[in-house]
Structure 1
Amino acid sequence: MATEVSKHPKVITKYRLNYAQYSQLRKMSYPHLVEEQAGTHELSALYFDTADFELMREVQEGSIYQELFRMRTSDRLMEKSLVAMEIVKQFDGKNSQRNVLIPYVNAQSFLRDYRKHVMKKGLEAQISREIEYLVSGKNLVPKVVISSDRIMAKCLKKGRLDINFDFNIRWRSTDFDLRKGNIGDFVDPTLNVLMTVKSDGDCPLWFRELLEELSICETSFSSLIVTYKEHLFNKEKKHYVSEFVSR
C-alpha cells in the first residue's frame, strides 16, 4: 500500500483538438515534449456520489469549493494491480488530489461494502480519515465510470508542464468492474481529442505560441459534467417522474 499527496495545487486547462491539430501539435512540440510513459494507456475512474448526485451538481454549478471521490486506474487491471482511492478537491479554480493506492482485490471489498472503510493500517492517517468521512458521512455510492485511452507527455525544460491526450472517452452507469476497461457509450461522439494541460501557473511561451499557430482554443469541456448533464441527469429525471406517477 502507498499514499500520494499532490505537493501543491495545479492549474488545469483543457483544449478540444481535432485529429489534424493533434498530429501537428505532436510534431511541432518536439523536442520540448516527451511521452512520460510510452504508449497508450487505458484509464478508468469510478465516481461515487450521493443518491441525488449532490457532488456532481456542485461541480456542474461551478461552486467555489468542490469535492469528489473516485476509484481510479491507470491501465488495464489485473488482480494484483493497484488502484487509487482518491479525493479530488478544487478551490478557486485550483485542483489538488490526495489518494491511497491499494490492491484491486481490496478495492473490490470496498465496492461490496463502501460504507465500511477497508483501509485500517499502514496508511497516511489524515487521508484515510478524509476518505472515510466523505464516503460514510455523505453515504456515497458508485454512480458512473468515465474511461478513455490516454497518451501522457511532459515538458523536459524547467517548469512543470504535464499534458494528457484523451481519446475515445466513454461512460457507463452499470457494471462498475474496472477490469472491463474502456467500454460504454461515448461521452461526446463529436470529440476527437481532449488535451488537458497541468501546470504550476503560466504555460511556457513556446507552448502558447504553438496553440495560437494551430488555432487551438481553450475549452470548459468536462467529461464528468457532460456525462451528468447529457446522460445521468435525464436518466435521473425519468426515474423521479416515474416514481411520482406510480404513487
Structure 2
Amino acid sequence: MTAATTADARAQLGLVGHRVVVIGGSSGMGAAAVPVLQAAGARVAAFDLPTARWPKAVTDVAELTGAVDVTDEPTVAAALDTAASELGGIDAVVNCAGILGAVVPGIEETVADVQRLLSINLLGAFTVSRQALPAMIEQGYGRIVHVASIAGKEGNPQMTGYSASKAGMIAMVKSLGKEYAASGVTVNAIAPASIETPLIQGMTPERREVQKALIPARRFGTAEEVAHLIRFIVSPEASFTTGFVFDASGGRATY
C-alpha cells in the first residue's frame, strides 16, 4: 500500500495490504493479535525483548520477528525502521509491551519499583508513539494503539505503581489523539480488565479470585477478545475515533 492510496480505497480493502507492527508480540495479547491481524489481511511484523521465546502461532504468520526494548529508544527506532523497510511502510503500530510489577500494599512498593513500571509502561508507550508518529503524519494515515488497563481508570489496590503507569498512558493517548486528530492518524488505547495472560497467571490464586470478583461477567477476558478489538481499532473504519479508551472489562468499567 502506498501513501497515495485514498481513504476510500483503504476502506474497501479492510486490512488487506495494511502493514502493522506489534510490539510485545511474543506472548499474551500481542501474540493473540498477530494471527488475528494477519487473518484479516494485514502484513505483520512483531517485536519483543531479545530474550523472548516466540510461539509458532506468531512465527508462522508474521513476516518478521525481531528484538526491541521500549525502555531503549534506539532499539524502538531500529525496529520500526526495519519493519518499514521489510513491509514497505507502516500503517499501524500496536503496543502491548508492559509489566505488572509487584502486587503489594503501596507503602511496600519502592520508588525503584514504581520507576521501573513508569519506564516500561508509560515512557515506553511514549517512545513508541514518538517514533511511529512522524512517518504516519507524513503519509497522512496511521493507527497507534496502546494496551492500557482498567487499573489506569479506577486504580487497583496493591497495584499503585502499575495503576499510575497505565493512568499516565491513558492521559498520553488523550493528549496525542487530540493533537494529531486532523492528520489522518489516530491514537487510542484499550483498557482491559483481567485477561488470561502470563501477567494474570503469575498472580496467587487468592489474588486471581479477587480480580475475577470485580468483573460483572464473572470471568477473565481472553487475549483473542482483545485481539479482535485491536483489529477494529487499526482498521480504516475506525477513522473518527481518536484519543479514546476502548474498554474490554466484562462490565467492570463505570465510565
- State the structure with bigger RCO (CA 8 A, min sep 6), 1 or 2: 1
Q: Same fold (TM over 0.5)?
A: no
TM-score, with normalisation over the residues of structure 1? 0.32
TM-score, with normalisation over the residues of structure 2? 0.32
Give the structure with higher Rg (CA): 1
Greater share of helix residues, 1 or 2?
2
